[in-house]
Chain A
């Protein structure tokens, strides 16, 4: 019976690695709040999947040390599981599309799903490096092993968080309030034609009195390629309407002449600052982002 039990050294290694890995997932989960509704069940699901990811990373080193090389192949299972998480997030958000004020759009959903997958890899990597450090240190004093492993784990977490941190619209553009004008059935914002769907008197009155519009000015001309992407415009509109609600009508329009982008809608709560902040905080989607340096021709 005694032989079948793992040694205290490995128990400390596995438990420390699992805790740091799960903590890594918990710390990265907090950042998801803006991207995702804060329902408690979603939080629980991701904490538990993070725990499993951390467990897989934690037991890899003991498996190797006991010459159980085949067991390491379960890391392939981990990748499969993370892909499932990505799929689950994608499907779940796609099903919610019809219930939101405006659509998130496939590009935004793809970005969110990818982030969830990536954060499980972070949990696994943090747990793995923690376990590796403890194994390398292999000190007789347990607390040295724990402290060394935890420090390395959190250093790796800090590095990976920095590496995977994306930019937001506010980093590449200015967001300013736009002046709404209704001429006949046409809606103009800062002189830019937006839509001619204001055919009824009620809609014109509603937009004149309660409409809200922001104009996005790219900081550099080449940022237009990113900002004018339909997926990103949809994401900006989604974040704006999510921040202040939507009564009726939502439009987004490009101005080809000066590269401005207009987002206009009738909100439930009149709060321009919140709308500007929401648009500024919209993440630049991975599928949309272009590196200007890489695109330069020789």
Chain B
């Protein structure tokens, strides 16, 4: 099975906005968070997972 990796973390919450790997992005509003996730996923040919807290994870495609 192909290993999955988190490529980016997109959030609106400053408390969950942590540096390092993977790339963490802080969005101003919901729309920005959505479009950031979609753009990143499109560019990286990756999958998007929305967590229950509303944040987005960009994950390598299996």
A185-B50 in contact given A197-B59, A199-B57, A230-B1 (Cβ < 8 Å): yes
Give CA–CA (A184, B49) in the complex, Å.
10
Cβ distance A106 to chain B, nearest Cβ, rounded Å:
11
Interface status of A49 (Cβ within 8 A of chain B): no
Q: How far is the CA of A128 from the CA of B38 in the complex (A)?
A: 64
Distance between B42 CB and nearest chain A CB, rounded to angstroms: 9
Please determine whether B49 and A196 come into contact, CB atoms closer than 8 angstroms: yes
- Complex interface: stretch among A12-20, A23-31, A78-86, A200-208: A200-208
For the complex of A and B, 8 pairs with smallest distance between CB atoms: A199-B48, A185-B50, A199-B50, A197-B47, A199-B49, A200-B48, A200-B38, A197-B49
Closest to A199 in B: B48
Q: Which residues of A contact B56 (CB under 8 A)?
A: 199
Q: Considering only CB atoms, which chain B residue lies closest to A230 in the complex?
A: B1
Interface centre among A184, A196, A197, A198 (most CB of B within 10 A): A197
Set A184, A198, A202: member contacting B38, Cβ < 8 A: A202
B contact residues, range: 10 to 19
Can you name 8 A-B residue pairings with CB atoms under 8 Å? A196-B49, A197-B59, A199-B41, A199-B47, A200-B37, A200-B41, A201-B38, A230-B1
* Contact, CB under 8 Å: A200 / B34: yes
Contacts of B1 in A (CB 8 A): 230
Interface hits, A169-200 → B, CB 8 Å: 184-185, 196-200
Please give the distance in Å from B38's CB to the nearest CB on chain A.
Answer: 5
Q: How would residues 17 to 58 of chain B score, 1 for a CB under 8 Å from any chain A CB and 0 otherwise?
A: 000000000000000001001100100000111100000110
Q: Using A199-B47, A199-B50 as known contacts, list a sample of 16 further A-B pairs with CB atoms less than 8 Å apart, ordered by residue number in A.
A: A184-B50, A185-B50, A196-B50, A197-B47, A197-B49, A197-B59, A198-B48, A199-B41, A199-B48, A199-B57, A200-B34, A200-B41, A200-B48, A201-B34, A201-B38, A202-B38
Cα–Cα, bound, A203→B42 (Å): 11
- Dominant secondary structure at the B interface: strand
Q: What residue in chain A is nearest B41 (Cβ atoms)?
A: A200
In the bound complex, residues from chain A placing their C-beta under 8 Å from that of B34 are: 200-201
Complex CA–CA separation, A203 to B59 (angstroms): 14
Interface string of A198-221 (1 = CB under 8 A from B): 111111000000000000000000
> How many angstroms from the CA of A201 to the CA of B47 in the assembled complex?
12
- What is the CA–CA distance of A54 and B13 in the complex, to the nearest angstrom? 72
Shortest distance between the CB of B56 and any CB in chain A (Å): 6
Closest to A250 in B: B62
Residues A185 and B38 in contact, CB atoms below 8 Å apart = no
CB distance from B61 to the nearest CB of A (A): 9
Would you give the shortest CB distance from B37 to chain A, in whole angstroms? 6
Q: Say how far B25's CB is from chain A's closest CB, in angstroms.
A: 14
Q: Which residues of B contact A199 (CB under 8 A)?
A: 37, 41, 47-50, 56-57
Which of chain A's residues have a CB closer than 8 A to the CB of B48? 185, 197-200, 203
Q: Which residues of chain B have C-beta atoms less than 8 A from A203's C-beta?
A: 47-48
- Residue among A185, A199, A230 facing the most chain B CB atoms (10 A cut-off): A199
Q: Can you name the residue of chain B whose Cβ is closest to the Cβ of A102?
A: B62
CB contacts (< 8 Å) of A185 on chain B: these are 48-50
Q: Which residue of B lies closest to A202 (CB)?
A: B38
Report Cα–Cα, A201/B56, bound state, in Å: 12
Complex CA–CA separation, A199 to B1 (angstroms): 22
